[in-house]
Chains A and B, each alone.
Chain A
């Protein structure tokens, strides 16, 4: 498990920090959100989603993206989780 590896290699990383940062990577994966933004746009262009649906979903996703970027910004340099 990489959390354990991290702790072995870097004793200054607390388990809470490692777990927290791992959760952030998963929850706030910006690629995933960007893909959803593009998919939403595509389905709107193809007429499967109404303009109102498209705009509402787009707003939600843009907000998520903003939050994800901030979360990454805050954890950057603290803990390396992905190895």
Chain B
């Protein structure tokens, strides 16, 4: 059989039926189970899928759909490009990493990731340290944990990810709305998510994809 298994993430073992298209247009999205863990996969021809915009958003889209399925699941996201030759290779990874995966699933139980960016409008000047201080203080109140992301552009004043309990998401939404109201004259506020918690899991998988 020439198909390889592209892996999106790991969830608690449970039946999964989602209607979404994966990497390289692959379908269906299904699971490979090992004890209490399920890996979310689809079959693809190549071992090295190209990292195009379409594929990157397909990867995200699958994870977001799984995240919202069945009344909300916890997902450990895999980074882009994890491909396994067959079910056995993938089950080996689940077996070897089961302690770390279980711990992450417990830590992330009921949590989603939300992202907040503040970007200066063209030619606007802002008191950056003051904005960062104010915004981070307000958001921290509604979140469990935060992670700072790269400020890859001079226009980016603030770029952080937050781990938020599903039940607390409305409070977080409100905090972001207030921030937007206050700063919208000088800055764009980009609020996105919920994502699988990419920035809050740290599992190294050896022998990448093989």
What residues make up the interface of A, taking CB atoms closer than 8 Å to B?
34-35, 38-39, 42-43, 45-46, 48, 58
Closest 10 CB pairs of A and B: A39-B153, A35-B152, A38-B152, A46-B188, A39-B152, A46-B119, A42-B153, A46-B190, A42-B119, A45-B190
Complex formed: what's the CA distance from A45 to B155 in Å?
A: 14
What 0/1 pattern do residues 147 to 176 of B give for CB contact below 8 A with A? 000101101100000000000000000000
Let me know if B117 is at the binding interface, CB within 8 A. Answer: yes
Contact across chains for A39 and B190 when beta carbons are under 8 A apart? no
- Cα distance, A39 to B122, chains bound together (Å): 13
Instruction: Give the chain A neighbours of B190 by CB distance below 8 A.
Output: 42, 45-46
Would you call the interface of chain A mostly helix, strand, loop, or mixed? helix
Q: Can you name the residue of chain A whose Cβ is closest to the Cβ of B154? A: A39
Tell me the number of A-to-B contacts counted with CB atoms below 8 Å: 24
Closest approach, in angstroms, between the C-beta of B146 and any C-beta of chain A?
Answer: 20
Query: Which range contains the number of B residues in contact with the other chain?
Result: 10 to 19
Could you list some 9 contacts between A and B, CB below 8 A? A34-B152, A38-B152, A38-B153, A39-B153, A42-B117, A42-B190, A43-B155, A46-B188, A48-B122
Please give me the residue from chain B that is nearest to A39 by CB atom: B153
Instruction: State A58–B53 Cα separation when bound (angstroms).
Output: 10
Closest to A54 in B: B53
B117 and chain A: residue at smallest CB distance: A42
The reply to whether B153 and A35 form a contact with Cβ atoms under 8 Å apart is yes
Chain B nearest CB, measured from A79 CB (Å): 29
Residues of B within 8 A of A42 (CB): 117, 119, 153, 155-156, 190
- Measured between alpha carbons, how far is A45 from B192 in the docked complex, in Å? 11
CB 8 Å contact bits of B40-62 with A (1 = contact, 0 = none) = 00000000000001000000000
Q: Which A residues lie within 8 Å of B155 (CB)?
A: 39, 42-43
